[in-house]
Amino acid sequence: MAEAITIHKSQGRSESKIVIDVRNPSKIKNHMDRQKWYVALSRARSLNGLYILGAFKPPNEIKPDDDVNAEMNRLRQNPLVPKYQFLRVVPENVIQIVSHNTQSIRKHITTIVSDQVFSSSHIVTLQESWAIDNESYNIPDFEEISRNRLMGRPRAFGTINFCKLNIEARIVDRIEIENGNSNNHVEISGFKLDNRLTIINVYNNPSSSLEF
């Protein structure tokens, strides 16, 4: 434990209470620039937990020729184009299906919900969901159609399927194949879409010797 740390050392931390000591002018003169103030002030989780010892002198305003302005202008003139932009705008006559080994839906649900590729798709199928029978997972505008029924604690098993709310889907026979060995199992779940397309979600453990 330390009684105090430098601003540089504090980067990356978030604290409930932060005290910034600027009482010694000889030590901070010409050193407390805008960047350091930003790092120091933003360590506090709220204004209620932020304390400043000494006089707060606002940093100079950003000049038109400042490096920050130059970089922002460059980014505006050269916007980033996602590599898979075409997956974010789906034509009306296309049904987009996304399949992903999520390695724990509980852990990554926030990423799934915020990903435009997932939200633009009609069907989302996940493997290694780590989902258990008594938990539900909410993806806005989607409903869960089927999953492998895994009881007890989360494990590196499980398939789970979601479908957009405006698409008619119904469950077909749910199938599970598992022989009790965690390194030797296959999981299958599925459903039928609009009575014309059957979606089968299969996860075959790389170490599995099972054939189907």
Sequential pLDDT tens for the chain (212 residues): 556 888 888 888 889 999 988 887 666 655 678 888 889 999 999 999 999 988 888 887 878 888 888 888 898 998 887 778 888 888 888 889 999 999 899 899 999 999 999 999 999 999 988 887 778 899 999 988 888 766 555 566 788 899 888 776 666 555 555 544 566 677 888 887 766 778 888 888 777 776 65
pTM of model > 0.75: no
CA–CA separation, 166 and 211 (whole Å): 36
Bridge pairing between strands 97-101 and 175-178: unpaired
Q: 125 CB contacts (<8 Å, ≥6 apart)?
A: 97, 98, 99, 100, 159, 160, 161, 162, 199, 201
